[in-house]
Amino acid sequence: MVKTNWLMVLPPVLFGGLAVMFYTGMQRDNPDALPTALAGRAVPSVSVTPLGDLPGFDLATMQDGQVKLVNYWASWCAPCRVEHPNLEQLAEQGVPIYGVNYKDNPANALGFLAELGNPYEAVGQDAQGRMALDWGVYGVPETYVIDGAGRIVTRHAGPVTQRVIEGVIAPAIAKARGETPQS
């Protein structure tokens, strides 16, 4: 009878286990997606303070019958700068966007908007990040699609790019409006 050295068997077994783990991980629909447990639920409380003289918003704004985006951003956030032209494009197309300035210096935030433009219907400041905790924000930028009844349809963590608009934001807006996707 041949005695098998367990050290000879260990590497292939470990490799096989890792291969199975990697394969199952790659089978997810979108490996970059960070799903939200809040999808389908009413938006959490809205507790923002005014940012300068810009119009603010509250929970009633989220339940006004209109589909909208809520975008968490900060002046110190490089990806926020990257997504900004795409937010302006959405705003020009009539999509209302409400900005939540996250843990930022108000003067820097106002300078950011003065430099790049303001795509927001209204902007509030979440200086301590308390509202972001309630919403489950992972980091900035992060964008939520909200239906007219004030329920979260979906969220996107990361910059809003053209690809994200086409693959995530536009379909979620259509769903929130009760529209059927175009083939």
The dihedral region occupied by 90, where left means phi > 0, alpha psi between -120 and 50, and beta the remainder, is alpha
Distance from C-alpha of 46 to C-alpha of 70, rounded to nearest angstrom: 11
Model pTM score: 0.79
For residue 90, pLDDT over 90 is answered with yes
Across the chain, mean pLDDT equals 88
Distance CA 59, CA 134 (A): 13
In the chain, the percentage of residues whose pLDDT exceeds 70 is: 86
Of 45, 62, 14, give the one whose Cα is nearest residue 131: 45
- Among the residue ranges 32-36, 46-50, 56-60, 177-181, the one predicted with the least confidence is 32-36
Specify the pLDDT at position 20.
72
48: exposed, middle or buried (Cβ count in 10 Å: 0-12, 13-18, 19+): buried
User: Residue 12 burial by CB count (10 A; 0-12/13-18/19+): exposed, middle or buried?
Assistant: exposed
Question: Is the pLDDT confidence value at 52 over 60?
Answer: yes
Report helix, strand or coil for 100. strand
A 10 A CB-CB count for 154 gives: 21
pLDDT for the residue numbered 182: 59
CATH superfamily membership of 41-177: Glutaredoxin (3.40.30.10)
- Please give the backbone phi and psi of residue 109, each rounded to the nearest 5 degrees, phi first: -65, -45
Tokens 């430099």, located at residue: 115
Cβ(111)–Cβ(117) under 8 Å? no
Burial class of 120 by CB neighbour count within 10 A (0 to 12, 13 to 18, 19+): buried
> What pLDDT score does 13 carry?
77
Triad 42, 60, 69: Cα angle to 5°: 65
Domain limits of the chain?
41-177
Model pLDDT for residues 111-150, shown as the tens digit of each residue: 999 999 999 999 999 999 999 999 999 899 999 999 999 9
Higher-confidence position of 137 and 179:
137
Mean pLDDT of 25-48: 68
Cα–Cα distance measured from residue 143 to residue 169, given in angstroms and rounded to the nearest whole number: 9
Residue 25 has pLDDT above 80, yes or no: no
Cα 88 to Cα 118: distance, rounded to the nearest angstrom: 7
